[in-house]
Structure 1
Amino acid sequence: MPNKYSLLIAQALITLTMAFSMSGIMGFIALGPTPEWLASWPKSFIIAWPIAFCLTLPVGRIAFAISGRLTAAAK
């Protein structure tokens, strides 16, 4: 298990890339390849990233617990 600092950095990087890509993809689906999409993407990302990071803290613990149980059951 990684130390708490490594886990925090990993969560920051994972949520950064996911918020960036998902806000861009979902905006593209909603607006298409338009100037409005490009203009709205940064704002969507700035809103999405802190939300994703805050949610990953409790959800990450739950996900690790579930994955531990699933992999222990598979052995």
Structure 2
Amino acid sequence: MKLSELKVGQIAKILSLSSKGVIKRRLMDMGVLSGEILRIEKVAPLGDPIDIVIKNYHLSLRKNEAEQIEVEVIE
């Protein structure tokens, strides 16, 4: 399942990143790594951006970035 498909309050584990190059490096630098647990905090009315909590900090991702993150729902 893609991160962009999750609903507010859901908790998930990151499985993989399908992005490449600069975007992948930027996401990894912000802590978006395989095995990390995250929670969907907020989603803007039009679905962009998506606010997540990962490693105890808030991170806003664009929908196209969230579509490149494969996750497994935990709760």
- Identify the structure with the greater strand proportion: 2
Q: Which has the higher contact order (CA 8 A, sep 6+)?
A: 2
- Identify the structure with the greater helix proportion: 1
Larger Rg: 1
Quickly name the TM-score band, shorter chain normalised.
under 0.3
